[in-house]
Chain A
Amino acid sequence: MMNPVASDLLLRVEDLHKCFDDHVVLAGVGLEVPRGSLFTVLGPSGAGKSVFLKCLVDVLRPDAGRISFDGRPLNFNDSAARAEFRRRCSFLFQGNALFDSLTALENVALPLEQTTDLADLEIRERSLEALRQLELESYSGHYPSQLSGGMQKRLALARAIVTRPELVFFDEPTAGLDPLRRNAVFAMIAKYQRQFGFTALIVTHDVLEALCASDRVALLDQGRICFVGPPAEFAASTHPVVCGFRDSAAALASTLASIRRGENIPSHDL
């Protein structure tokens, strides 16, 4: 497997550690995200995916490790560097984190209003353009609570891309959605990632959708990355953790067959 050359890397994470009291969540995570790629970090619930993502955007402070963005080390203690990083990145939250007291248009306009010196008219035009691109223009005056779950997700994406970021982080974008909506969300991310040209870093536990949509995948297990590569390699990997995660549906079928046959399944195997 060829590693991306340094100039093609947008984000590099080295030896990231994070503990909560005695509980080790990240135990030396390392990752390289190529520019323009749709990169997915897979992992079971509780593997530390969201913590990993929050460490990358300085919502949580890692205990140790190095993060480089666009070839330069990130120092979140430097307010100018932090502001520059945040200007070039966006974060799409698991629960969307839309402002329920603001309309769809106001939600999308908020980052432009607060972080740029653009004129009001230009902010309005750019916000409406983002809404139009995500097919929400006719809902610009609606509040988030008046929109469906899928529309809220698109609205959150519109807000994330309106500042034209180079890197968008997606925290469990399909959590709690049915399979049809999961497919739709991944298709939406893949479509707009290509349309707007940003690099996408997604954390999820939806294997099938991630393998279909991603350029590269990584598997996070017990605080460490145990696989990184293209989806085809992931599908063919014989790594035991990858197999266990990837083939969970087959394992479930086998367990259910055993139960139907009346075999005694130890609780720790369930």
Chain B
Amino acid sequence: MGDLALFTGRSFGDALRSRRLARRFGRAVYEQGALCLPVILIVGMFTGLVLGLQGYYVLNRFGSEGLLGALISLSLVREMAPVLAALMLVGQAGSALAAELGMQRNTEQIVALETMGVSSHGYLVGPRLIAALFVFPIQTALFVAIGLWGGSVSGSLLLGVEPGVYWSSVERAVGSEDVRECFLKAAIFGLLTISVCAFHGFNAHRCRSATGARAVSASTTRAVVHSSILVLAADYVITSFLV
């Protein structure tokens, strides 16, 4: 954990001191944003659809279908959207980042940067960490939006809950503190997952069990597993402090 903290701190510091950061930041936003958008929208939509179905039948037992909007919106905003969006981003952007850095380590591109006098932390990792602080909350917001829409499709369109009742329930249930919690979690998950994935890819050459392509594969696997576990553990810790 100490190594990871130093790695993250150095990457931030070097990136902020580096030249032409905006271009690499833009590329990182594209990688984590545009390239991951389809998976965020698809998973968000199905999450909303399933929540709508499950929520409707549970609430129907108590004659409280009118609270469907509140159930779906609070589930999404407080827990499901930040966690699921982060896990999707780990699978898409995090794994790609770990594999790319692992390959760059293998083909001496990282060492080449250092011999040019360019900080590899600042050039390759820092812009992605900064981008994650912005992109993860935006992706989470989109996840919430599409999830709410999915919930309205299954709740209102298929199961007959009044759309006005559904959306007003959503509006009444979600407070500004819920939105703050959602964005805070998303930003923290973004920072954690991208730094863990980058750390494993960057240090692929230190893998003791394998070398070459197998080391890249092993470091990518470790990156995905560790960051997924870290997201869930961090979610518990943050929630226990905020609730």
Q: A: which residues have CB within 8 A of B? A: 57-59, 82-83, 86-87, 89-91, 93, 95, 97-101, 110-111, 113-115, 117, 163
> Cα distance A97–B116 when bound, in Å?
12
Q: Determine which of A86, A91, A114 lies in contact with B18 in the assembled complex, contact meaning CB atoms within 8 Å.
A: A114
Q: Determine which of B18, B108, B111, B118 lies in contact with A111 in the assembled complex, contact meaning CB atoms within 8 Å.
A: B118
Docked complex: B98-121 residues within 8 A CB-CB of A: 100, 104, 107-109, 111-112, 114-118
Q: B: which residues have CB within 8 A of A? A: 18-20, 100, 104, 107-109, 111-112, 114-118, 123
Given contacts A114-B19, A114-B20, contact A95 B115 (CB under 8 A): no
Output the nearest chain A residue to B18 by Cβ-Cβ distance. A114
Contact across chains for A86 and B109 when beta carbons are under 8 A apart: no
Contact across chains for A93 and B20 when beta carbons are under 8 A apart: no
> Cα distance A82–B118 when bound, in Å?
11
Contact across chains for A97 and B108 when beta carbons are under 8 A apart: yes
- Give the residues in chain B near A95, CB-CB below 8 Å: 107-108
> Cα distance A83–B115 when bound, in Å?
9
Contact across chains for A111 and B116 when beta carbons are under 8 A apart: yes
Contact across chains for A86 and B116 when beta carbons are under 8 A apart: yes
Q: Determine which of A59, A110, A114 lies in contact with B115 in the assembled complex, contact meaning CB atoms within 8 Å.
A: A59
Contact across chains for B123 and A114 when beta carbons are under 8 A apart: yes
> Would you list 24 pairs from A and B whose C-beta atoms are within 8 A, ordered by A residue?
A59-B111, A59-B115, A86-B115, A86-B116, A87-B117, A90-B115, A91-B115, A93-B111, A93-B112, A95-B108, A97-B107, A97-B108, A97-B109, A99-B109, A100-B107, A100-B109, A101-B100, A114-B18, A114-B19, A114-B123, A115-B19, A115-B116, A115-B117, A115-B118
Given contacts A93-B108, A95-B108, A97-B109, contact A113 B115 (CB under 8 A): no
